[in-house]
């Protein structure tokens, strides 16, 4: 198969162009002045403004959803479930109600973004004026969703809406206020983070490593242990960042320290926790047990509390609350009925208070016995009380906004943050806050401010074939990455069940759709984009892979736009093939990744593909083969994508879609 030659650009010029592009603002714009970040008053004022903007953006989104005329459209947003019946209720930790809902039709739940931990409002589906009851999703299955609430919702049939996360914001605001006026140790740490005090490092310690680490990982561990205030671990894709962080935690505990291990998402906390439980016994996970990996359930605070000897007493009290609630939840008749109902709920409320007090003392005991406490960065301050930690670690710190770190930082003697600022930034809803710099994480700010003085980069990656790695390494990581011998030449064709043919015998392929009339389209009733022509190419590629013996579970299809994901999901009938947006794949990997770029238009508009971190994440999910389908006519207008096209060409991996016209029936 011949590859069309593209005009070569000088390597030097492409390399020189890269840092400039970042400086030119293709990464998020930054707030006005550096002093905003130095002066505590101005810094925390800025953060409070961002939180206000986020709060307003969430409120507007919820209002728009409520105003939607057609009910089908409301559920399509993925943020609302309608016509839900309450199918069960229990009493959970801290005496909360755990309410389970099913579709009134018993159908599976539609695709939705209500995840474990999401704040929601449960309201009467028949009463638009009902303000509802706030809760948090505590379990989710294909047909049921369970919500933990403090109050009992009114109504026969319910709607459940994803709601503005006021609890998280309130906690963040309280933590920020505490930091702003802090004295002593907390003030010192704050001042280092704001750049008002110099970084301090002691002697690098001699370390007896528990894990078999490579040299950059060992150096990163020693560096982090020597930091007296803050250290950053920069972990490019597949370089064992979490492995390294786990070792830092292990070494700290070995020296008698107590550690708070956090990450912004439940999944990231669990990934770290999985490594930690192999190293220590005294590791406790605070959070929703339902979301915790099966193997880790025994380490959750809830289960530890359940297995405490006093738990039997609590169990009896819960049963009593259940009976009271059962009686109270029956529809009352007449004034007496309502009065009686009120009394029953009041009695249940008193008992729940007693349960809470008893549980609190058990919780205190369990947490006091832990060397490492794992939680998301949204910390339940009621549970943790006034505990401080010798070391606080934030993994996946680049997914954390500046506002999101202070709850953890407030409890720290020393801080280690780990992440990769060339992967996805934190989610920010408000465009204004984003323009103002809210998508720039603290970690990115510190690395850009202090350079190598504050961070160590991991360099050996254990995921990708070296050719898949190299473009990312040259573009984002100063050509620092090295592929470990175990992966550097690994191809799809090396899998025992896979044939050796042109679809499996090389790590890279780019299929250029230029001139094939595969134009992007706007989704009819949405804002997202799709490209049916590219979807056809992807479906064709999937068929070739499956016919070559590749297993559906080894294939990932990544699209930057949700509409293209929907289009492809409807075209592929095998659910084992994962199709998702870049966000859905962060932190994950697959043997083969098919990436559809979608954008193809006359004007060379590439929209949010300009945030090249997305493309970096998408490309670096692939272990053995990466296929990119895109229009060079559109993409090539942007310097980053021009370099990417050139790279594929240099690797003899560039093909026009016309080469497959016959096979594809173009």
Q: Which stretch binds ligand ATP (CB under 6 A): 113-121, 241-249, 339-347, 575-583?
A: 241-249
User: Does residue 596 interact with ligand ATP by CB under 6 A?
Assistant: no
CB of 464 to ligand ATP, least distance (A): 10
Q: Which two tokens stand for residue 532?
A: 């049916």
Q: Which two tokens stand for residue 498?
A: 């896979």
User: Does residue 425 interact with ligand ATP by CB under 6 A?
Assistant: no
- Name which of 188 and 218 has its Cβ closer to ligand ATP: 218
**Dihedral class, residue 94 (left if φ above 0, else alpha if ψ from -120 to 50, else beta):** left
- Name which of 33 and 427 has its Cβ closer to ligand ATP: 427
**Which of 171, 234, 241, 614 forms a contact with ligand ATP (CB under 6 A)?**
241
Binding mask 429-468 for ligand ATP (x = CB under 6 A): ---------------------------------x------
- Name which of 544 and 581 has its Cβ closer to ligand ATP: 581
Q: Among residues 523, 502, 659, which one has the least CA distance to residue 76?
A: 523
CB of 211 to ligand ATP, least distance (A): 7
**Which of 149, 172, 242, 403 forms a contact with ligand ATP (CB under 6 A)?**
242
User: Does residue 213 interact with ligand ATP by CB under 6 A?
Assistant: yes
Cβ-contact 420, 481 below 8 angstroms: no
Cβ-contact 101, 86 below 8 angstroms: yes
Dist. CA 204–CA 219, nearest whole Å: 9
User: Does residue 240 interact with ligand ATP by CB under 6 A?
Assistant: yes
Report how many residues bind ligand ATP under the rule CB under 6 A. Answer: 14
- Name which of 163 and 620 has its Cβ closer to ligand ATP: 620
- Name which of 82 and 279 has its Cβ closer to ligand ATP: 279
The H-or-E segment that residue 343 falls in is helix 334-368
Q: Which stretch binds ligand ATP (CB under 6 A): 36-44, 128-136, 232-240, 253-261?
A: 232-240
CB of 395 to ligand ATP, least distance (A): 8
The H-or-E segment that residue 624 falls in is strand 622-630
- Binding residues for ligand ATP restricted to 148-207, rule: CB under 6 A: none
**Which of 14, 123, 179, 243 forms a contact with ligand ATP (CB under 6 A)?**
243
Residue nearest to ligand ATP according to CB distances in the complex: 240
- Name which of 186 and 268 has its Cβ closer to ligand ATP: 268
Cβ-contact 243, 253 below 8 angstroms: no
CB of 206 to ligand ATP, least distance (A): 19
Dist. CA 30–CA 286, nearest whole Å: 34
CB of 354 to ligand ATP, least distance (A): 43
Cβ-contact 454, 199 below 8 angstroms: yes
Q: Which two tokens stand for residue 462?
A: 């254990």
User: Does residue 216 interact with ligand ATP by CB under 6 A?
Assistant: no
- Identify the bridge partners of residue 97 per DSSP, sorted by sequence position: 91, 149
CB of 76 to ligand ATP, least distance (A): 31
Q: Which residues of 160-192 are buried (b: 16+ CB within 10 A; e: fewer)?
A: bbbbbbeebbebbbebbeebbebeeebbbbbbb
Q: Among residues 612, 229, 180, which one has the least CA distance to residue 446?
A: 229
Cβ-contact 308, 366 below 8 angstroms: yes
Q: Among residues 140, 147, 142, which one has the least CA distance to residue 163?
A: 147
- Name which of 17 and 210 has its Cβ closer to ligand ATP: 210
**Which of 118, 214, 376, 615 forms a contact with ligand ATP (CB under 6 A)?**
214
Angle (nearest 5°) at CA 519 between 513 and 523 = 135
**Which of 212, 316, 452, 602 forms a contact with ligand ATP (CB under 6 A)?**
212
- Name which of 109 and 220 has its Cβ closer to ligand ATP: 220
Q: Which stretch binds ligand ATP (CB under 6 A): 71-79, 121-129, 231-239, 400-408?
A: 231-239
Residue 300 CA from chain centroid, whole number: 21
Binding mask 555-594 for ligand ATP (x = CB under 6 A): --------------------------------x-------
- Name which of 135 and 237 has its Cβ closer to ligand ATP: 237
Cβ-contact 535, 573 below 8 angstroms: no
- Binding residues for ligand ATP restricted to 39-78, rule: CB under 6 A: none
**Which of 95, 216, 235, 425 forms a contact with ligand ATP (CB under 6 A)?**
235
CA dihedral 226, 277, 376, 238 (to 10 degrees): 70
CA dihedral 35, 36, 37, 38 (to 10 degrees): 40
User: Does residue 239 interact with ligand ATP by CB under 6 A?
Assistant: yes
Q: Which stretch binds ligand ATP (CB under 6 A): 53-61, 80-88, 209-217, 505-513?
A: 209-217
DSSP-assigned letters across all residues of 160-223: EEE---HHHHHHHHHHHHHHHT--HHHHHHHHHHTTSS---B-PPPP---SS---HHHHHHHHH
Length of the chain: 666
- Name which of 47 and 277 has its Cβ closer to ligand ATP: 277
User: Does residue 217 interact with ligand ATP by CB under 6 A?
Assistant: yes
Q: Which two tokens stand for residue 617?
A: 């994440």
CA distances from 397 to 18, 234, 392, 393 (A): 24, 10, 12, 9
Q: Residue numbers of the site for ligand ATP (CB under 6 A)? A: 212-214, 217, 235, 237-243, 462, 587
């Amino acid at each position: 198969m011949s590859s069309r030659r593209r005009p070569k650009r000088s390597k030097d010029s492409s390399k020189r162009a890269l840092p400039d592009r970042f400086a030119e603002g293709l990464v998020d714009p930054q707030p006005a002045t550096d002093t905003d970040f130095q002066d505590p008053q101005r810094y925390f004022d800025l953060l409070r403004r961002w939180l206000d903007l986020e709060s307003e953006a969430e409120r507007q989104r919820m209002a728009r959803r409520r105003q939607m005329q057609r009910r089908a459209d409301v559920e399509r947003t993925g943020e609302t479930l309608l016509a839900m019946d309450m199918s069960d209720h229990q009493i959970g930790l801290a005496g909360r109600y755990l309410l389970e809902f099913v579709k009134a039709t018993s159908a599976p739940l539609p695709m939705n973004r209500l995840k474990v931990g999401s704040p929601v409002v449960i309201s009467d589906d028949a009463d638009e004026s009902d303000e509802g009851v706030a809760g948090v999703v505590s379990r989710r299955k294909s047909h049921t969703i369970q919500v933990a609430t403090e109050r009992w919702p009114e109504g026969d049939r319910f709607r459940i809406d994803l709601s503005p996360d006021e609890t998280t914001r309130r906690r963040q605001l309280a933590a920020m206020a505490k930091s702003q006026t802090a004295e002593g140790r907390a003030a010192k740490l704050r001042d280092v983070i704001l750049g008002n005090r110099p970084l301090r490092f002691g002697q690098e310690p001699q370390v007896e490593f528990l894990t078999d680490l490579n040299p950059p990982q060992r150096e990163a561990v020693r560096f982090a242990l020597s930091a007296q205030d803050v250290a950053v671990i920069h972990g490019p894709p597949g370089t064992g960042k979490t492995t390294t962080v786990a070792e830092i935690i292990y070494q700290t505990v070995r020296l008698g320290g107590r550690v708070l291990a956090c990450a912004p998402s439940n999944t990231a906390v669990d990934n770290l926790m999985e490594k930690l439980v192999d190293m220590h016994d005294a590791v406790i996970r605070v959070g929703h047990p339902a979301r915790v990996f099966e193997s880790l359930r025994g380490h959750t605070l809830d289960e530890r509390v359940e297995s405490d000897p006093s738990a039997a007493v609590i169990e009896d009290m819960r049963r009593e609350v259940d009976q009271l609630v059962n009686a109270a939840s029956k529809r009352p008749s007449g004034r007496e009925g309502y009065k009686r109902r009120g009394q029953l709920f009041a009695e249940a409320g008193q008992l729940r208070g007693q349960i809470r007090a008893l549980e609190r003392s058990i919780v205190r005991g369990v947490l006091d016995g832990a060397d490492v406490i794992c939680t998301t960065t949204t910390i339940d301050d009621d549970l943790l009380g006034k505990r401080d930690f010798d070391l606080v670690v934030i993994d996946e710190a680049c997914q954390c906004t500046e506002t999101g770190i202070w709850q953890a930082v407030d409890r720290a003697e020393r801080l280690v943050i780990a992440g990769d600022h060339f992967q996805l930034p934190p989610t920010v809803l408000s465009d204004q806050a984003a323009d103002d710099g809210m998508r720039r994480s603290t970690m990115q700010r510190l690395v850009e401010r202090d350079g190598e003085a504050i961070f160590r980069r991991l360099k050996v990656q254990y995921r990708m074939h070296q050719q898949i790695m190299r473009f990312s390494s040259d573009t984002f990581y100063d050509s620092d990455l090295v592929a470990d011998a175990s992966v550097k030449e690994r191809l799809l064709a090396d899998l025992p069940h896979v044939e050796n043919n042109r679809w499996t015998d090389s790590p890279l392929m780019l299929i250029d759709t230029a001139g094939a009339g595969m134009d992007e389209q706007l989704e009819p009733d949405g804002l997202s984009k799709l490209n049916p022509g590219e979807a056809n190419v992807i479906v064709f590629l999937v068929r070739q892979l499956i016919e070559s013996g590749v297993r559906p579970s080894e294939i990932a299809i990544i699209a930057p736009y949700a509409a293209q994901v929907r289009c492809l999901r409807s075209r592929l009938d095998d659910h084992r093939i994962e199709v998702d947006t870049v966000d859905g794949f962060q932190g994950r990997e697959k043997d083969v990744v098919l990436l559809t770029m979608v954008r193809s238009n006359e004007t060379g508009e590439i929209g949010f593909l300009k945030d090249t971190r997305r493309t970096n994440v998408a490309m670096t999910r692939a272990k053995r083969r990466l296929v990119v389908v895109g229009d060079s006519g559109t993409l090539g207008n942007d310097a980053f994508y021009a370099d990417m096209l050139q790279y594929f060409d240099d690797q003899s991996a560039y093909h026009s879609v016309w080469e497959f016209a016959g096979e594809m029936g173009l």
